[in-house]
Protein backbone atom coordinates (compact mmCIF):
# COMPACT_ATOMS: atom_id res chain seq x y z
CA UNK A 1 0.00 0.00 0.00
CA UNK A 2 1.28 3.48 -0.87
CA UNK A 3 2.26 5.43 2.23
CA UNK A 4 -0.37 8.09 1.72
CA UNK A 5 -3.42 5.80 1.57
CA UNK A 6 -3.75 5.11 5.28
CA UNK A 7 -3.59 8.82 6.23
CA UNK A 8 -6.24 9.43 3.56
CA UNK A 9 -8.47 6.69 5.00
CA UNK A 10 -7.94 7.99 8.56
CA UNK A 11 -8.88 11.47 7.34
CA UNK A 12 -12.18 10.17 5.94
CA UNK A 13 -12.96 8.38 9.21
CA UNK A 14 -12.28 11.54 11.18
CA UNK A 15 -14.50 13.58 8.86
CA UNK A 16 -17.28 11.03 9.36
CA UNK A 17 -16.95 11.30 13.14
CA UNK A 18 -17.01 15.11 13.06
CA UNK A 19 -20.13 15.20 10.90
CA UNK A 20 -21.99 12.28 12.49
CA UNK A 21 -24.50 14.41 14.45
CA UNK A 22 -25.41 16.55 11.46
CA UNK A 23 -25.65 13.60 9.07
CA UNK A 24 -27.93 11.73 11.47
CA UNK A 25 -30.27 14.71 11.67
CA UNK A 26 -30.22 15.09 7.90
CA UNK A 27 -30.98 11.42 7.38
CA UNK A 28 -34.00 11.76 9.70
CA UNK A 29 -35.18 14.72 7.65
CA UNK A 30 -34.63 17.08 10.61
CA UNK A 31 -33.09 20.52 10.93
CA UNK A 32 -30.27 20.96 13.41
CA UNK A 33 -30.38 24.55 14.70
CA UNK A 34 -26.77 24.40 15.87
CA UNK A 35 -24.88 22.39 13.26
CA UNK A 36 -26.84 23.38 10.12
CA UNK A 37 -24.87 26.63 10.15
CA UNK A 38 -21.69 24.68 9.35
CA UNK A 39 -23.31 23.33 6.17
CA UNK A 40 -25.33 26.34 5.01
CA UNK A 41 -23.44 29.51 5.91
CA UNK A 42 -20.31 27.58 5.01
CA UNK A 43 -21.34 25.68 1.86
CA UNK A 44 -19.88 22.42 3.08
CA UNK A 45 -20.24 19.03 1.48
CA UNK A 46 -19.37 16.01 3.56
CA UNK A 47 -17.78 14.47 0.49
CA UNK A 48 -15.37 17.40 0.28
CA UNK A 49 -14.51 17.15 3.96
CA UNK A 50 -13.76 13.45 3.52
CA UNK A 51 -11.41 14.13 0.60
CA UNK A 52 -7.81 14.17 1.79
CA UNK A 53 -5.19 16.44 0.26
CA UNK A 54 -1.49 16.38 1.15
CA UNK A 55 -0.98 20.06 0.35
CA UNK A 56 1.50 21.57 -2.07
CA UNK A 57 4.82 19.98 -2.85
CA UNK A 58 4.06 16.32 -2.18
CA UNK A 59 3.92 13.62 -4.85
CA UNK A 60 1.49 10.74 -4.31
CA UNK A 61 2.60 7.56 -6.09
CA UNK A 62 -0.14 5.70 -7.91
CA UNK A 63 -2.77 8.30 -7.09
CA UNK A 64 -4.74 7.97 -10.28
CA UNK A 65 -7.91 9.24 -8.60
CA UNK A 66 -6.18 12.49 -7.61
CA UNK A 67 -5.24 13.20 -11.21
CA UNK A 68 -8.93 13.56 -12.06
CA UNK A 69 -9.38 16.18 -9.32
CA UNK A 70 -9.09 19.86 -10.13
CA UNK A 71 -5.65 21.46 -9.78
CA UNK A 72 -3.72 18.17 -9.84
CA UNK A 73 -1.29 17.01 -12.51
CA UNK A 74 0.45 13.76 -13.35
CA UNK A 75 4.17 13.33 -12.72
CA UNK A 76 6.51 10.56 -13.81
CA UNK A 77 8.36 8.85 -10.96
CA UNK A 78 12.02 7.71 -11.07
CA UNK A 79 10.89 4.08 -11.27
CA UNK A 80 8.86 4.83 -14.38
CA UNK A 81 5.53 4.85 -12.59
CA UNK A 82 3.22 7.81 -12.26
CA UNK A 83 1.99 9.90 -9.40
CA UNK A 84 -0.07 13.00 -8.72
CA UNK A 85 0.81 16.34 -7.23
CA UNK A 86 -0.79 19.73 -6.84
CA UNK A 87 -0.15 21.86 -9.89
CA UNK A 88 0.85 24.97 -7.97
CA UNK A 89 1.39 27.06 -11.09
CA UNK A 90 -2.14 26.35 -12.32
CA UNK A 91 -3.56 26.80 -8.85
CA UNK A 92 -1.92 30.20 -8.43
CA UNK A 93 -3.02 31.24 -11.90
CA UNK A 94 -6.61 30.52 -10.88
CA UNK A 95 -6.58 31.30 -7.17
CA UNK A 96 -3.57 33.55 -6.64
CA UNK A 97 -5.66 36.58 -5.68
CA UNK A 98 -7.51 34.46 -3.13
CA UNK A 99 -4.25 33.22 -1.64
CA UNK A 100 -2.97 36.77 -1.29
CA UNK A 101 -6.22 38.01 0.25
CA UNK A 102 -6.40 35.14 2.74
CA UNK A 103 -2.79 35.75 3.71
CA UNK A 104 -3.35 39.47 4.28
CA UNK A 105 -6.49 38.92 6.35
CA UNK A 106 -5.14 36.05 8.44
CA UNK A 107 -1.82 37.79 9.06
CA UNK A 108 -3.49 41.06 10.07
CA UNK A 109 -5.88 39.27 12.41
CA UNK A 110 -3.11 37.23 14.00
CA UNK A 111 -0.99 40.33 14.57
CA UNK A 112 -3.40 42.37 16.65
CA UNK A 113 -4.58 41.82 20.23
CA UNK A 114 -7.81 39.99 20.86
CA UNK A 115 -10.86 41.77 22.22
CA UNK A 116 -12.68 39.79 24.88
CA UNK A 117 -15.97 40.74 26.44
CA UNK A 118 -18.42 41.05 23.57
CA UNK A 119 -20.37 38.24 25.28
CA UNK A 120 -21.86 36.99 22.05
CA UNK A 121 -24.31 39.87 21.85
CA UNK A 122 -24.29 39.67 18.05
CA UNK A 123 -26.77 36.78 18.27
CA UNK A 124 -29.04 38.85 20.51
CA UNK A 125 -28.82 41.82 18.15
CA UNK A 126 -29.98 39.57 15.31
CA UNK A 127 -33.37 39.09 16.99
CA UNK A 128 -33.70 42.45 18.73
CA UNK A 129 -37.31 43.71 18.56
CA UNK A 130 -38.28 40.96 16.15
CA UNK A 131 -41.50 40.33 18.06
CA UNK A 132 -42.53 43.99 18.02
CA UNK A 133 -41.89 44.15 14.27
CA UNK A 134 -43.76 40.90 13.61
CA UNK A 135 -40.69 39.11 12.24
CA UNK A 136 -39.84 35.45 12.65
CA UNK A 137 -36.70 34.44 14.53
CA UNK A 138 -33.70 33.17 12.60
CA UNK A 139 -34.04 29.75 14.23
CA UNK A 140 -37.21 27.79 15.11
CA UNK A 141 -36.34 27.77 18.81
CA UNK A 142 -37.92 29.58 21.75
CA UNK A 143 -36.14 32.56 23.24
CA UNK A 144 -34.74 31.66 26.63
CA UNK A 145 -35.76 35.00 28.21
CA UNK A 146 -38.73 35.70 25.97
CA UNK A 147 -38.95 38.63 23.55
CA UNK A 148 -38.98 41.45 26.10
CA UNK A 149 -36.21 39.88 28.16
CA UNK A 150 -34.07 39.48 25.06
CA UNK A 151 -34.59 43.11 24.07
CA UNK A 152 -33.67 44.21 27.59
CA UNK A 153 -30.33 42.38 27.42
CA UNK A 154 -29.41 44.22 24.22
CA UNK A 155 -30.48 47.55 25.65
CA UNK A 156 -28.55 47.10 28.91
CA UNK A 157 -25.21 46.09 27.36
CA UNK A 158 -22.57 47.67 25.17
CA UNK A 159 -22.64 46.02 21.74
CA UNK A 160 -19.24 46.05 20.08
CA UNK A 161 -19.24 43.63 17.14
CA UNK A 162 -16.18 43.87 14.87
CA UNK A 163 -17.16 41.15 12.40
CA UNK A 164 -18.97 42.30 9.29
CA UNK A 165 -20.61 38.97 8.52
CA UNK A 166 -22.26 38.99 11.94
CA UNK A 167 -23.09 42.70 11.93
CA UNK A 168 -24.87 42.53 8.57
CA UNK A 169 -27.52 40.25 10.13
CA UNK A 170 -28.40 42.67 12.95
CA UNK A 171 -32.01 43.78 12.91
CA UNK A 172 -32.52 47.34 11.68
CA UNK A 173 -33.36 48.40 15.22
CA UNK A 174 -30.07 46.99 16.56
CA UNK A 175 -27.87 48.40 13.83
CA UNK A 176 -27.20 51.74 15.52
CA UNK A 177 -26.59 50.08 18.89
CA UNK A 178 -23.30 48.64 17.65
CA UNK A 179 -20.34 50.75 18.75
CA UNK A 180 -18.34 49.70 15.69
CA UNK A 181 -19.01 49.96 11.98
CA UNK A 182 -17.51 46.92 10.29
CA UNK A 183 -17.73 46.80 6.50
CA UNK A 184 -16.54 44.32 3.89
CA UNK A 185 -13.96 46.83 2.71
CA UNK A 186 -12.58 47.25 6.24
CA UNK A 187 -12.53 43.55 7.09
CA UNK A 188 -8.74 43.20 6.98
CA UNK A 189 -8.38 46.28 9.18
CA UNK A 190 -11.00 45.26 11.76
CA UNK A 191 -10.91 41.51 12.33
CA UNK A 192 -9.42 40.50 15.66
CA UNK A 193 -8.51 37.10 17.13
CA UNK A 194 -10.93 37.20 20.05
CA UNK A 195 -13.94 37.16 17.71
CA UNK A 196 -15.76 33.84 17.65
CA UNK A 197 -16.92 34.34 14.08
CA UNK A 198 -13.48 35.34 12.80
CA UNK A 199 -12.16 32.15 14.36
CA UNK A 200 -14.91 30.03 12.83
CA UNK A 201 -14.10 31.62 9.48
CA UNK A 202 -10.68 29.98 9.46
CA UNK A 203 -12.58 26.99 8.16
CA UNK A 204 -13.95 29.13 5.32
CA UNK A 205 -10.47 30.30 4.36
CA UNK A 206 -9.18 26.73 4.38
CA UNK A 207 -12.07 25.82 2.08
CA UNK A 208 -11.18 28.71 -0.23
CA UNK A 209 -7.67 27.33 -0.67
CA UNK A 210 -9.00 23.86 -1.42
CA UNK A 211 -6.38 21.23 -2.26
CA UNK A 212 -3.49 23.50 -1.21
CA UNK A 213 -4.55 22.98 2.42
CA UNK A 214 -3.42 19.70 4.02
CA UNK A 215 -6.28 17.51 5.20
CA UNK A 216 -5.38 17.74 8.87
CA UNK A 217 -5.53 21.54 8.81
CA UNK A 218 -8.91 21.46 7.06
CA UNK A 219 -10.43 19.15 9.67
CA UNK A 220 -8.79 20.98 12.58
CA UNK A 221 -10.37 24.21 11.35
CA UNK A 222 -13.75 22.51 10.86
CA UNK A 223 -13.59 21.02 14.36
CA UNK A 224 -12.81 24.44 15.84
CA UNK A 225 -15.72 25.99 13.91
CA UNK A 226 -18.05 23.26 15.17
CA UNK A 227 -16.93 23.71 18.78
CA UNK A 228 -17.31 27.48 18.57
CA UNK A 229 -20.74 27.14 17.02
CA UNK A 230 -21.99 25.23 20.05
CA UNK A 231 -20.80 28.00 22.36
CA UNK A 232 -22.16 30.66 20.01
CA UNK A 233 -25.61 29.15 20.33
CA UNK A 234 -25.28 28.32 24.04
CA UNK A 235 -24.58 32.02 24.67
CA UNK A 236 -27.34 33.15 22.32
CA UNK A 237 -30.88 34.18 23.29
CA UNK A 238 -32.20 30.82 22.07
CA UNK A 239 -33.12 27.92 24.31
CA UNK A 240 -30.88 25.11 23.02
CA UNK A 241 -31.60 22.68 25.85
CA UNK A 242 -33.40 20.39 23.38
CA UNK A 243 -29.94 19.61 21.99
CA UNK A 244 -28.55 18.75 25.39
CA UNK A 245 -26.64 22.05 25.48
CA UNK A 246 -26.54 24.08 28.68
CA UNK A 247 -26.95 27.83 28.30
CA UNK A 248 -24.08 30.22 28.85
CA UNK A 249 -26.24 32.90 30.50
CA UNK A 250 -24.29 35.98 29.43
CA UNK A 251 -26.83 38.24 31.12
CA UNK A 252 -25.34 37.09 34.46
CA UNK A 253 -21.91 37.71 35.96
CA UNK A 254 -21.12 34.00 36.05
CA UNK A 255 -22.18 33.58 32.43
CA UNK A 256 -19.93 36.43 31.34
CA UNK A 257 -16.96 34.83 33.07
CA UNK A 258 -17.65 31.49 31.39
CA UNK A 259 -18.07 33.12 27.99
CA UNK A 260 -14.73 34.91 28.21
CA UNK A 261 -13.02 31.73 29.42
CA UNK A 262 -14.22 29.87 26.35
CA UNK A 263 -13.52 32.82 24.08
CA UNK A 264 -9.87 32.91 25.17
CA UNK A 265 -9.47 29.16 24.73
CA UNK A 266 -10.92 29.34 21.22
CA UNK A 267 -8.65 32.28 20.39
CA UNK A 268 -5.59 30.28 21.42
CA UNK A 269 -6.60 27.38 19.19
CA UNK A 270 -7.37 29.72 16.32
CA UNK A 271 -4.05 31.51 16.52
CA UNK A 272 -2.24 28.19 16.12
CA UNK A 273 -4.34 27.42 13.05
CA UNK A 274 -3.62 30.87 11.64
CA UNK A 275 0.08 30.15 11.84
CA UNK A 276 -0.37 26.91 9.91
CA UNK A 277 -2.57 28.58 7.30
CA UNK A 278 -0.01 31.36 6.85
CA UNK A 279 2.64 28.70 6.24
CA UNK A 280 0.45 27.28 3.46
CA UNK A 281 0.02 30.71 1.88
CA UNK A 282 3.70 31.58 2.17
CA UNK A 283 4.79 28.29 0.59
CA UNK A 284 2.43 28.84 -2.34
CA UNK A 285 3.50 32.44 -2.86
CA UNK A 286 7.17 31.47 -2.63
CA UNK A 287 6.61 29.05 -5.49
CA UNK A 288 4.94 31.86 -7.42
CA UNK A 289 7.91 34.19 -6.89
CA UNK A 290 10.33 31.40 -7.77
Residue 288 confidence (pLDDT)? 64
Residue 238 confidence (pLDDT)? 97
Residue 68 confidence (pLDDT)? 87
Written as tens digits, the pLDDT of the chain (290 aa) is 478 999 999 999 999 999 999 999 999 999 999 999 999 999 889 999 999 999 999 999 988 888 889 999 999 888 888 899 999 999 999 999 999 999 999 999 999 999 998 999 999 999 999 988 888 777 889 999 999 999 999 999 999 999 999 999 999 999 999 999 999 999 999 999 999 999 999 999 999 999 999 999 999 999 999 999 999 999 999 999 999 999 999 999 999 999 999 999 999 999 999 999 999 999 999 866 65
Residue 48 confidence (pLDDT)? 93
Q: Residues 236-258: pLDDT tens digits? A: 999 999 999 999 999 999 999 99
Mean of per-residue pLDDT scores for the chain: 94
Report DSSP letters for 92-147, one per residue: HHHHHHHHHHHHHHHHHHHTS------TTHHHHHTSTTHHHHTPPPSSSS-BTTHH
Domain ranges of the chain: 5-54+88-289
SS3 call for 218: helix
Q: Return all residues near 138 (Cβ < 8 A) that are at least 6 apart.
A: 126, 127, 169
Q: 3-state DSSP helix/strand/coil percent for the chain, to nearest 5?
A: 55, 5, 40
Q: What is the CA radius of gyration of the chain?
A: 21
- Classify strands 60-61 and 82-86 as parallel, antiparallel or unpaired: antiparallel
Q: Return all residues near 242 (Cβ < 8 A) that are at least 6 apart.
A: 141
Residue 1 confidence (pLDDT)? 44
Amino acid sequence: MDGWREPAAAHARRADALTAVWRAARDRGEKHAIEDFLFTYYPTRVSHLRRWHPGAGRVLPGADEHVSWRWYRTVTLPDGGTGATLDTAAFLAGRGDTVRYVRSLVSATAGRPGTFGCFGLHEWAMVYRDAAAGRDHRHPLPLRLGASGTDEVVESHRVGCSHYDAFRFFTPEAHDANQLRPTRERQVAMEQPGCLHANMDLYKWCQKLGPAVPGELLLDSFELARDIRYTDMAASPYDVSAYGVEAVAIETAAGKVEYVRRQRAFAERAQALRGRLLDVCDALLADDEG
